[in-house]
Amino acid sequence: MTMRLNNLSPRPGAKHRNKRKGCGESSGHGKTSGRGGKGQTARSGTGIRLGFEGGQMPMLRRIPKRGFNNKRFTSDYATVNVSDLNTLFDDGATVTPEALAEQGLAIRKFAGVKILGDGDLTKKLTVKAQVFSAGAREKITKAGGVCEELPLPVIHHKTEAAEKK
């Protein structure tokens, strides 16, 4: 028998008939139609938010708050390993954040570039970056290269008052 479009059918158990809710008590889904009792949750478009406790003071507001989160003030650096510099740049080259962006290493908006000491460096490079790890600084200088620290870029927040001037 050849396969034809009119012979195709879904696998057994793949299709289910819809539950016919609210079609009388004997259907098994009558009266409340699987919605439980009366009240807010029985209505359509219920919008009880996460953590709502029926008007009681929610747990998140009851427990004491302590400490300080410094995450807002941290600097997010694009990290580049010494092994990446060894493979991507020639001997005697100058490595800058712009050159790293051209190579596809520091492409996102970051506070700056941090050079990490993972891997080996055999080339003499002049590396300009915002931050160096101790291991990276040691490997670059041991290979005869130079580490130059760049200042962190200053982020200016535009205000309406500054735009008017």
Is the confidence at residue 137, as pLDDT, over 70? yes
pLDDT of 21 above 60:
yes
Contact 126, 146 (CB under 8 A): yes
In the chain, what's the furthest Cα-to-Cα distance?
Answer: 87
Numbers of helices and strands, H then E, in the chain: 5, 6
Residue 165 pLDDT exceeds 80: no
Q: How confident is the model at residue 123 (pLDDT cuts 50, 70, 90)?
A: very high
Whether pLDDT at 109 is above 80: no
What is the C-alpha to C-alpha distance for residues 165 and 158, in angstroms, rounded to an integer? 12
Could you tell me which residue, 118 or 74, shows the higher pLDDT? Answer: 118
The pLDDT assigned to 43 comes to 87
Compute the mean pLDDT over every residue in the chain, rounded to the nearest whole number: 88
| Contact indicator for 78, 113 with CB cutoff of 8 Å | yes
User: For residue 94, what pLDDT is reported?
Assistant: 95
Mean pLDDT calculated for residue range 133-157:
88
CATH of 76-149, one of 3.100.10.10, 3.40.50.12500, 2.60.40.10, 3.40.50.2000: 3.100.10.10
- Annotated domain spans of the chain: 76-149
Interval 30-86: pLDDT, tens: 999 988 888 888 888 877 888 899 899 999 999 999 988 888 888 889 999 999 999
